[in-house]
Amino acid sequence: MDFKEVVAPGQLGGLGVRQLAARVWAECGEDEVLDRAAALSFYFLFSLFPALLFLSALLGFLPIRGMLDAFLDNLARVLPPDAARLIRSTLEQVVQGSSVSLLSFGALASIWAASTGMLSVITALNVAYGVSEQRAWWAQRLLAIALTLGFSVLLLAALTLLVFGPSLGGALASRLGYGNLYAWLWRVLDVPLSVCFVLAAIALVYYFAPAAEQRAPWVLPGAVLATGLWLLASFGLRLYVHAFGNFSTAYGSLGAVILLMLWLYLTGLVLLVGAEVNAEIEDAAAHRGDRCAKASGEHVPGERDRHPAARRAPARTGAA
């Protein structure tokens, strides 16, 4: 192959939008994305409350009051109301029933349990990127813990900005004589800043989770798409529940659990679709001769036809 052409990630690997959509659709079927998203939702559910417990313990060490309530309030802006109430009530029961020392010690066990969901993400992304897992089980677990901690740091940074941004920034702007302007700007930038933190978290996973050396620019297209789809899916689910879905009447107390599982399923689905988009953009750019498109460990164009086994990673979970 003659490597001469350079294709930027923003050019979609030289593909048109329809071409890219067709290739991603085919790959989603080949990689069983719908089934893998269902598996991810299962592990996400088991990892959700340990992760929230770890986050609550972490917030308890900060000399700031009301951070956990602020986090749950912002989470309720995305989740369907019944699912948000389920998470809040369950977390409050766990926190009230545990001492501070138990929460501090239990944070270590919680981060271990929460990393199980990240292990399942690693396995699913290996399939999307067409790589076989070569890392030792302990290296995968440490990576999952590190990514979970990275998520926690991003959440803490986002919460600190959302909670204290208006007051601290407003005080500074008032001293400079721009108090009213800052208040208006904050109302405009509140949501975009939150979206940027979500984008950073997804890009972090795309960059580090697959068993292939990644290059930062090539994870951005899928991260942007996954962020947008996740927001659309979350708010679409909220609108559907508000307008049509009376889950409490149909399923009783299980309605909130079903909504939470559905939201987790959509979260896993958009995460995998974004990874498939990145993989197809890289593949198309490599076909056009861009050396930077394919990282070490990833399949090369045409390899899936010659070696189908190399294209499909084992459909195992990361619960080792």
Give residue limits of the domains in the chain: 20-311
Instruction: Give the CA angle between residues 286, 289, 295 to the nearest 5°.
Output: 40
Buried b vs exposed e over 217-240: b needs ≥16 C-beta within 10 Å? Answer: ebbbbbbbbbbebbbebbeebbee
Q: What does the pLDDT read at residue 319?
A: 40
The phi and psi torsions of 133 (rounded to 5 degrees) equal -75, 120
Q: What does the pLDDT read at residue 304?
A: 44
Q: What does the pLDDT read at residue 169?
A: 62
Instruction: Please state, in angstroms and rounded to a whole number, the distance separating the CA atoms of residues 156 and 150.
Output: 10
Q: What does the pLDDT read at residue 90?
A: 79
Number of CB atoms found within 10 A of residue 183's CB: 14
Please, is 175 exposed, middle or buried when counting C-beta atoms within 10 Å of its C-beta (0-12, 13-18, 19+)?
A: exposed
pTM of the model: 0.78
Number of CB atoms found within 10 A of residue 90's CB: 16
Tens digits of pLDDT across the chain (320 residues): 444 555 555 567 677 788 889 999 999 999 889 999 999 988 888 888 777 777 777 666 665 666 677 777 777 777 878 888 888 887 777 666 555 554 555 567 777 877 888 898 999 899 888 888 888 989 999 999 999 888 877 877 776 676 666 665 666 666 666 666 666 676 667 778 878 888 998 999 999 988 877 777 788 999 999 999 998 998 888 888 777 766 666 666 677 788 888 889 999 999 999 999 988 888 877 776 665 665 544 554 444 443 343 344 433 344 43
Q: What does the pLDDT read at residue 307?
A: 38
